[in-house]
Amino acid sequence: MAEIKYEIQETIGSISQSPKGWSKELNLISWNGKAPKYDLREWAPEHEKMGKGVTLTVEELKELRNLLNGLEL
C-alpha cells in the first residue's frame, strides 16, 4: 500500500471539536517532504488519524479570507 508522509510544521488553530474528540484544524503541513501547504481538515485526538480536507495555498487563503470577510455570518 502506498504511503503518505507528512509533517505538521505548525498548528495555526482549531475551529471546532466534535463530541468524539475530533478537531477541525488549520495547519501548515509538509506532504512527502515538499514545501508546506496550509491544510484544513479533521483530526482524531493527538493527530492519530486524519479525515478528509483540503490543502490551500497562501493565495487561496487570501481569497478565502476575502470571501469570509464579505459574508454576514
Among residues 18, 12, 23, the alpha carbon closest in space to that of 65 is found at: 12
What is the smallest separation between the CB atom of 69 and its own copies, expressed in angstroms?
A: 7
What is the smallest separation between the CB atom of 34 and its own copies, expressed in angstroms?
A: 17
- CB-nearer residue toward its own copies: 34 or 65: 65
Residues that bind its own copies (CB under 8 A): 12-16, 24, 26, 40-42, 52-54, 56-65, 67-69, 71, 73
Structure-block grid coordinates of residue 51: 479525515
- CB-nearer residue toward its own copies: 7 or 60: 60
Structure-block grid coordinates of residue 50: 486524519
- CB-nearer residue toward its own copies: 15 or 45: 15
Among residues 4, 13, 3, the alpha carbon closest in space to that of 43 is found at: 13
- DSSP character at residue 49: S
